[in-house]
């Protein structure tokens, strides 16, 4: 439901912003589905130019970084259980890495809920890419992010093989590597990103994200 609302609002707002349509569409799908992963997948079938991809990535990356810091700050002020908070993160934050980083602040229950919910949301990349490829007059194209396949493989492996201590060690190591990855994400935040996106692009992306935050919170609070 959250995805449908964001996409519908995005196309409704197209006429009010002076940006290229392809750029705004990439921002719409980046906000509603899975940040950079969705933009990359959709851009490949839309045949978007590098400039359009760069602007949309800049907008989503900037807001994604804000979310990484803002959500943990407000987590203790909201009447949400850890599971509800994890759901809110998954529905409202763009990229999977930042969803995991923000959700982990309330512990494993929040983290596990956020991860599963976010990966479920990311699966929408497949039908969206398929429909856009049909719109472009091409044969329907399917696109499944590799990290989802690896996540499913890891889940099946951990469920079947009796190496629980090893898997716990790998899970702990994964949290360390995630912290390193988020640290590296911070290096990508530069004023050139803001300049490339422009005020119009940032306002467009922020409008969609604000709606995503509100609808995500409402859905999470009743879950």
Tens-digit pLDDT profile for residues 178-205: 556 655 555 555 566 666 667 888 899 9
The span from the CA of 82 to the CA of 113, in Å, is: 9
Residue 78 backbone dihedrals phi, psi, to 5 degrees: -110, 145
* Stretch 5-22: mean pLDDT: 88
pLDDT for residue 125: 83
68 has a pLDDT exceeding 60: yes
80 has a pLDDT exceeding 60: yes
Residue-wise DSSP of the chain? -HHHHHHHHHHHHGGGS-S-HHHHHHHHHIIIIIHHHHHHHHHHHHT--HHHHHHHHHHHHHHHHHHHHHHHHHGGGS---HHHHHHHHHHH-SSHHHHHHHHGGG-HHHHHHHHHHHHHHHTTHHHHHHHHHHHTTS-------HHHHHHHHHHHHHHHS--HHHHHHHHHHHHHHHHHHHHHHHHT--HHHHHHHHHHHHHHHHHHHHHHHHHHHHHHHT-
Decide which of 89 and 158 is more confident.
Answer: 89
Least confident of 93-107, 138-152, 162-176: 138-152
Collect all residues with Cβ–Cβ distance below 8 Å to 44 and sequence separation of at least 6: 129, 143
The span from the CA of 8 to the CA of 204, in Å, is: 13
The span from the CA of 74 to the CA of 72, in Å, is: 6
pLDDT for residue 95: 84
Q: Computed over its alpha carbons, how large is the radius of gyration of the chain?
A: 18
Decide which of 56 and 165 is more confident.
Answer: 56
61 has a pLDDT exceeding 90: no
Nearest-10 crossing angle of helices 21-29, 50-74: 40
pLDDT for residue 147: 60
């Amino acid at each position: 439901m959250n995805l449908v609302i964001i996409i519908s609002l995005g196309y409704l707002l197209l006429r009010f912003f002076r940006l290229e349509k392809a750029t705004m569409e990439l921002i719409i799908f980046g906000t509603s589905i899975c940040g950079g992963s969705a933009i990359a997948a959709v851009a490949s079938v839309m045949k978007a130019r590098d400039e359009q991809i760069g602007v949309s990535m800049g907008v989503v990356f900037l807001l994604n970084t804000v979310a990484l810091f803002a959500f943990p700050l407000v987590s203790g002020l909201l009447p949400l259980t850890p599971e509800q908070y994890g759901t809110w993160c998954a529905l409202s934050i763009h990229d999977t890495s930042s969803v995991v980083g923000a959700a982990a602040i309330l512990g494993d229950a929040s983290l596990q809920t956020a991860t599963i919910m976010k990966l479920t949301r990311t699966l929408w990349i497949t039908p969206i890419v398929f429909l856009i490829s049909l719109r472009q007059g091409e044969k329907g194209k399917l696109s499944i992010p590799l990290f989802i396949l690896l996540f499913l493989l890891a889940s099946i492996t951990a469920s079947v093989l009796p190496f629980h201590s090893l898997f716990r060690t790998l899970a702990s190591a994964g949290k360390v590597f995630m912290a390193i990855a988020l640290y590296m994400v911070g290096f990508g935040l530069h004023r050139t990103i803001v300049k490339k996106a422009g005020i119009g692009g940032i306002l467009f992306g922020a409008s969609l994200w604000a709606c995503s935050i509100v609808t995500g919170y409402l859905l999470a609070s009743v879950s």
